[in-house]
Structure 1
Amino acid sequence: MNINNLFNEKKVVFSFEIFPPKQESNIETIYNTLEELKDLKPDFISVTYGAGGSLTKNMTCEISSIVKNKYGIEPLAHLTCINSTKDNVDKILDDLKNQGIENVLALRGDIPADYKGEGSFRYATDLITHIKGRDDFNIVAACYPEIHPDSKSIEDDLLNLKRKQEAGATHLVSQLFFDNNYFYNFLDKKEKYNINIPVEAGIMPVINARQIKRIVSLCGAKVPQKFLKIMNKYEFNPEALRDAGIAYANEQIIDLISSGVDGIHLYTMNNPYVARRISEGVSSIINTINTCENVANK
């Protein structure tokens, strides 16, 4: 199934993201996670492209196949292109196609410290163009509400995003953010550049202090004062911090849904407990809105 069709069928699309286990971990751990996530009935599950070497990259295809063929949930397979040749990418695309996987999230990927410009692709747009030229995959792309860390300016970032749309991306998944105002400002600005494909808001429930420090260092997401107060208050109470992080994410999602967001993409961090708590907090609202939308369209 082409997941882009979901945005014509539903007012709010609700999806999850999982990642392959580390190379030293047993792959069975992700199967246990999927067993617990399946009952939550997400519209699709994206599977990240492992950064830990070829083993985790191969797992992306394997896990995507399990998501689709065992659990009956549509997968979105991540594919990064930095340092990759066209032959590498074509091999992965062939593997995905052979498993019946129709949707790909095309990404540049993090630039390695020793990167010297090798590979056939420099940007995600190059990868999108290549995929579009050889296969009928539905192609999804990423966006950054707070601007991509490597962009020279907001304008430069939006122009790059427009190129992704023109190259063939059908919808966007946003990087995580903790202040909805950044997302709303991004939506307003993209309209001025005629970027009109659906955008899912990426939400990550922060459940421990170490996690948020790592997130900020990796993607530069700004942490609002309100959330810093929560962290400081519950710094030495892990269970309370976890519950506060879940409550904060639920507040974000409810506000986004009330404002007419196209979809919510939940970064589950392979934590079924957190995914379940979030789903329980927002699913009734999403279901009600989608039901009303279906009735209105009949």
Structure 2
Amino acid sequence: MKVSQVYKDKKDKKVLSFEIFPPKKDSELSNIDETLAVLCELEPDYISVTFGAGGSSNCNRTIELAKKIKHEYHVEPVVHLTSLHYNKAEIDEFAKVLSEAGLENVLALRGDKNPNFPEKNDFSHASDLIAYMKEKWDFCFLGACYPECHPESGGVINEIRHLKTKVNAGAEVLLSQLFFDNDIFLRFQEYCRVADINVPVIPGIMPVINAAQIKRMITMCGVAFPARFEKIIHRYEDNKEALFDAGMSYALSQIIDLLVSDIEGIHLYTMNNPLVARRICEGIRNII
């Protein structure tokens, strides 16, 4: 089923989705079953699978994992597909493999610049990838959005303008980058409405459960930390177990606050940790 239809069918109920990443080694692909068993037991509406630069469609762990999710666990997968390091012929090959495997949903991304892989010139933006694939293939396209602005956007006006271009190209659902201040997301959602971006804009939540993860957030994502969250970090950063519990509690409070606002679902960045997903789902079981 196409994910856009999932949001239409749910109506008054909220859509629950997860993100996972494929193991780095083919030999570890079978080990993902323990994680998938727990995640699928929680009955998500779909699971997205991240995608890295490099590799062909014939030996791609993202696609193999998506096949497993769909055909063995009977949950709809969303395949991330980046464009910066691929040309049209290579994208066509990926699309052919996805279509033959019955995979209907693609999260189209430009992808991060990677010095280990040369950039190609066919697709400068995710919107270029969506527009090209939309003409040739019958997929449901999802796009990424950045409530605190992409580092290269130059500000919120350009951010919304680029997002509008992405939607006009064919993106039917938008999944947000992680954030920790709900007011920022809700304000961004309102900007989207004013710009006539009338597709589901779904908040992406990542529970912060260890100090190393926090440092990565600061250096890589540029996300804002509300004062309440900073107090949690400073109070428990040297206590692994306490930080885990406090991080989970903060994420739960974020999600509950969002669920009573005008949103259509929650996208949870699981970090392949089934304990995180289970704890969150138990906390919102009766309200989602």
For normalisation by structure 2, the TM-score amounts to 0.95
Q: 1:248 to 1:40 in 2, by over 3 A?
A: same
Q: How many pairs align?
A: 285
Partner of 2:240: 238
After the TM superposition, which residues 179-258 of structure 1 pair with which residues of structure 2 at under 5 Å, given as runs?
Answer: 179-258=181-260
Which AA in structure 1 matches 2:5?
N
**Match of residue 269 from structure 2:** 267
Residues 1:249 and 1:160: Cα distance change in structure 2 (over 3 Å):
same
The one-letter code sitting in structure 1 at the alignment partner of 2:214 is I
SS in 2 for 1:174: strand
Match of 2:152 in 1: 150
Q: Distance in 2 between matches of 1:200 and 1:165?
A: 14
The aligned counterpart of 1:42 is 44
Alignment of 1:16-55 (within 5 A): 16-23=18-25, 26-51=28-53, 53-54=54-55
Corresponding position of 2:133: 131
Calculate the aligned-residue CA RMSD, in Å: 1.7
Equivalent position amino acid for 2:276 in 1: V
Distance 2:93 2:166 in 1: 22
Q: For residue 190 of structure 1, report the CA deviation from its aligned partner.
A: 1.2
Runs of 4+ more than 3 Å apart: 113-117
- Match of residue 3 from structure 2: 3
Q: CA separation in 2, counterparts of 1:101 and 1:114?
A: 29
Q: Which runs of 5+ in 1 are unaligned?
A: 287-298
- The CA deviation at 1:276 is 0.1
Answer yes or no: is the 8 Å Cα contact 1:20–1:50 preserved in 2.
no
Q: Secondary structure at the match of 2:141?
A: strand
> 1:171 deviation in Å?
0.8
Q: Pick from 52, 60, 63 the counterpart of residue 62 of structure 2.
A: 60
Q: Which runs of 5 or more structure 2 residues have no equivalent in the other structure?
A: none
1:98-117 correspondence runs (5 A): 98-113=100-115
AA partner of residue 8 (structure 2):
N
Structure 1 CA distance for aligned equivalents of residues 107 and 118 of structure 2: 25
Query: What do residues 241-290 of structure 1 show as CA deviations (whole Å, max 9, x unaligned)?
Result: 0011111000000000001211100000000001000000012101xxxx
Q: Report sequence identity in percent.
A: 49
Q: Secondary structure at the match of 2:130?
A: helix
Q: Distance in 1 between matches of 2:214 and 2:138?
A: 38
Rounded Cα–Cα distance in structure 2 between residues aligned with 1:143 and 1:134: 24
Equivalent-residue separation in structure 2 for 1:182 and 1:9 (angstroms):
28
1:292 aligns with: none
Task: List per-residue Cα deviations over 1:103-159 (Å, max 9, x = no partner).
Answer: 000000001247875231110000000110110100000100011111012111101
Kindly state the Cα deviation for residue 186 of structure 1 after the two structures are TM-superposed.
Answer: 0.2
1:55 offset after TM fit, Å?
7.6
Where 1:284 maps in the other structure, the secondary structure is coil
Residue 25 of structure 1, CA deviation: 6.4
2 CA distance for matches of 1:86 and 1:55? 13
Shift of 1:205: 0.3
Q: Work out the CA distance in 1 between the residues paired with 2:73 and 2:274.
A: 15
The 1:24–1:215 alpha-carbon spacing in structure 2 relative to 1, beyond 3 Å, is: farther
Q: What TM-score do you get using the length of structure 1 for normalisation?
A: 0.92
The equivalent residue for 2:99 is 97
What amino acid sits opposite 2:265 in the alignment? G
> Cα offset for 1:28?
2.1
Q: Deviations over 1:27-46 (max 9, x none)?
A: 22222211121110001000
1:19 touches 1:50 (CA, 8 Å); kept in 2?
no
Task: Report if aligned partners of 1:200, 1:261 keep a CA contact under 8 Å in 2.
Answer: yes
SS in 2 for 1:27: helix
In 2, the alpha carbon distance for the partners of 1:58 and 1:221 equals 31
SS of match in other structure, 1:285: coil
CA apart distance, 1:88: 1.1
Mapped partners of 1:111, 1:235: distance in 2: 31
Q: Which amino acid aligns with 1:250?
A: L
